[in-house]
Every structure is written in structure tokens, then in C-alpha cells.
Amino acid sequence: MTSMMRSSAVSLALGYVALGIAALVLFAAPLWYAWQVTIQEGRAEILQADAQRLTDVYRRDGADGLKAFIDARVGMQIAGERLLLLTDASMHPLAGNLSIWPSTVPAVPGNYRIRFDLTDKGSALVHVAMVGHYYLLVGRYNTIFAPLETRFWYGLAAAIAVLTLAGLMVGLITRRALMSRVYSIRQTVSAIMHGDLQHRLPTQRNDDELNTLTCTINGMLEQIELLVHGVRNVSNAIAHDLRTPLAELRSRLEELALIRPPAEQAYAEIDGAVADVDRVIRIFDALLRLAEIDAGMRRSGFIPLDAADLAANAVEFYAPAAELKNIALVSRSDGVAVVLGDPVLLAQALSNLIDNALKYAPEHGAIEVVVRKLADATVEISVADDGPGIADSEKAKVVERFYRGDASRGTPGAGLGLSLVHAVAKLHGSTLLLSDRHPGLIASVTLALHATYSATITTPTVLMPEPRAF
């Protein structure tokens, strides 16, 4: 990993250097082009102005005056700086510092670029003009700008060298910083691989990208630790809670095989064995539903539904069971309250809350199911009873799978009812809130009010689940 990290850091640095050099070249190329165009156009205008000045001399003083003027200019100028040549119609030189008309320059007015192969003057830009019946050639050598061009290329090379060195230095610094962070990550991962799930990546005070990634990874590690401990606890709880029904089932079957009772008693024992098997199946069904909810697989079933109508159906379904215990089961709502959710899961969660309330509410007690809209565009669904309630020390534990509080030791169930409600609330972006009623308990779930609220929406018919001891 270290060699890969080094090569990655060096490759990254070289890539940035190459990108910087490419950007520098792309900047220098149009600059060089603009320089060449500007210089050439400026020199061409100067040559045209010189030719026009000589033409004015010809018009004023004639051919002899122009010859004298050119000879005087040739004698005054710096040696080798300018080119002047005046010829007759047959291209015979009359005045100037060129002995012959250059073979590469046509006798046509215009600007031309010529090169002198036999001298060290290099190239020159010339302008050809017609003065009466004479040919006039005015030019200047390009050597005057050679030092500037040389300095330009030297500057570009120096910039590339500085950029390369700076890029390599930044790459080395970046590699050292990354290697330090990678080393800490390796230590943390190694500790976790050896079983220390509480180990976390060290964070820094600065809020850079790596620190943000470290915080995200630490959050993931905390969730993994929570899930691993949850799996361990669930495995232990399953083994503990399934031992009793399986032991009873084995005892019943063993007793039937040994004593072979009469048919009526045998059928009664078989019915008891079937009840034990049903209890085991219910536990596994609840676990499968919890696993499906935790995986988020039920989000595809979200539809707009009326929470008030859903609560009314649940109360109507449990009304006969409440009458058997002489419990007043009522529902209240503020009218239509449309939320986005899975109607089957919400019905299951609500039925679990009502079933728990019926289980612990005293005879002649009261259970109230309330659906109300809150000021923050949310809908609260609550189930309140006047039973013994839940102690503050147990409220955080009752949502754990297979947890049975002291008040529920003598009641049927496997401790999965509130776990399922908590999972359904979490799937819908909410949480299960348990608060005291004095006496009794209030269990509530808050859902977001659907954005496309409509008073005419109808909740799909949902068959309430059969009351079971979860």
C-alpha cells in the first residue's frame, strides 16, 4: 500500500505539473502569436511610411533628388540596420546599400519577407513601391528583435522549470501528509480487524475534505459496531426465547410418544404443539419484517394516505377486544391528515401500539388514539393508555429486539412489538417517542405532512393484522 500511495502521490504531482505546463504553453502560444502579428504589422506600417516619404521626395525633387536623399540616408544610418534600393525600369541599381535587386522579391508593390543566406543578417521585411518608372525597395532587418525573442523563450523555459520544481515540492509535501493520514487509517483498520470495534480514526480541528471523510468513516464504524452488537444480542435473544417453545414442543411430543393417551387428550396436546410452532413462526415472521424494514426495501410502497382514516380503521378493528376487557377505546383527529408512507407497515405499527395498550391497560381503563396536525407541517399519531407505563430507565431499551421489561414478564410475547414500531418509524424518517401520562404511557410517531395535501384523498383499504403477541 505504501508503494502504491507513493506512486499515486508522485503521479498526482506529475499530473499537476504537466497540467500547469500545458496551461503555460496555451497562455504563451497566443501571446507569441499576438507579439509576432503586432510587430510585423507595426514594421510594415513603418516601411510604408518610409516609402511614402521617399515618394514625396521624388515628386518634389525628381529622380536626382531622390538618389541624393537615399545616398544621404545610407550614409547616416547605423550600419546594417536598414535596406534601401532604387533601380530603374530594367532593375539596374541607381542608389542604396544593396548591389542588386534580391531574387526572392518580385517587382510588384507589396510587403515581402526575405532571407540572406550569405550573410549573418538573417531575415528582413521589405516593402516594394513604384516611384514613377523606378522601383523602390525599403526594408529593415529582423535582428533588432532577436534579443527580445531570446528573452521570451528563456523566460518561458524558466517558468516551466520553476513550475516543475514547485509541483514536485508540493507533490512531496502532499505525499507526506497523505502517508501520515493513511498510516493512521491502517492502524485503525488493523485494530478493527483484530476485534477492537471501538477504535476510531483520529480527527483534526481543521474542517478539510480528509477530516470530513474521517468523520463519515467514524460514523460508519459506529453504525457497524452497533449492528454487530445488535446481531450478537439478537442471536442470544433468539436462542433464549426459542428455547422455551421448542422445549415445550419436544416435551409434548415426547409425552405423546411415551404414554400414548386417548384420542381426545392426544388432540389437545397436538393443538398445544401447533400453538408452540405458531409462536416460533410468528417470531421468525417478525424478524423477517424487521430485516426487510431495516434494509429499506419497503420504501417502494410509499403512497399518500390519510393517517386519520388509518387510525379510525385500527380503532374499529380492536373495538371488540377492548369491549371484552371493558376498556374504552376511542379515536380523535383534526380531520384529514395526509402523509406519505407504507399503509401496511403503518397499520402494523399502529396495531402493535394498540395491542400493547390493551395488554397493559387495567379493566375499565381507557385508550385514546389521537391524530393531530402540528405547527411544523407534521402529523403526530399517538396511542395513550392509563396502564402502569414504562420506567424512564427502560424506555430506551424497550425498542431493542427481544427485550422484556419487568412489567411484561408474565404476559405473552417475544419483545418484538415495539422494535417493529421503532423500525417502521425510522423507515418513515421519524422515531418512536415514549412519554409518561401519569398514570399510563403515551407512544407517538411524528410523520411529515404530505406536500401535495388534498382533502379529497382516500386511504386505500388495509386489512389490519391479526392481533398477535409480539
> CA-CA distances (angstroms) from residue 439 to 272, 352, 361, 396, 444?
37, 20, 10, 19, 16
Domain ranges of the chain: 2-148, 229-294, 299-448
Judge whether 278 and 313 are in contact, CB under 8 Å: no
pLDDT tens digits for range 30-45: 877 777 777 777 778 8
Gyration radius of the chain over CA positions? 48
Residue 409 has pLDDT above 50, yes or no: no
The number of angstroms, rounded, from the C-alpha of 137 to the middle of its chain's C-alpha atoms is: 69
Site of grid cell 521570451: 152
| Residue of 398, 414, 470, 415 whose CA lies nearest to 242 | 414
Judge whether 109 and 93 are in contact, CB under 8 Å: no
Query: In CATH, what is the architecture of 299-448?
Result: 2-Layer Sandwich (3.30)
Residue 149 has pLDDT above 60, yes or no: yes
What lies within 8 Å, CB to CB, of 4 at 6+ separation is none
Residues 445-459: what's their mean pLDDT? 64
The confidence score (pLDDT) of residue 132 equals: 85
Q: Which three cell numbers stand for residue 386?
A: 392509563
pLDDT tens digits for range 261-282: 888 888 888 887 887 787 777 6
CB contact burial 359-387 (16+ within 10 A = b; e otherwise):
bbbeeebbbbbbbbbeeeeebbbbbbbbb
Report angle CA 464, 466, 470 to the nearest 5 degrees: 110
Tell me the CATH number of domain 2-148, given options 2.30.30, 3.30.70, 3.30.450, 3.40.390: 3.30.450
Give, as one character, the DSSP assignment of residue 194: T
The confidence score (pLDDT) of residue 220 equals: 82
For domain 229-294, give the CATH number: 1.10.287.130
Q: Which three cell numbers stand for residue 5?
A: 500511495
- What type of residue is 420? L
328 against 203, higher pLDDT: 328
Whole-prediction pTM: 0.46
- Dihedral (CA of 185, 191, 197, 200) sign: negative
- What type of residue is 440? G
The beta strands (E) that lie in 254-400 are given as: 303-306, 328-333, 338-341, 366-373, 378-385
**DSSP sequence for 137-173:** EEEEEGGGGHHHHHHHHHHHHHHHHHHHHHHHHHHHH
Q: Could you give the CA distance from residue 401 to residue 391 in angstroms, rounded to a whole number?
A: 18
Q: Which three cell numbers stand for residue 256?
A: 405423546
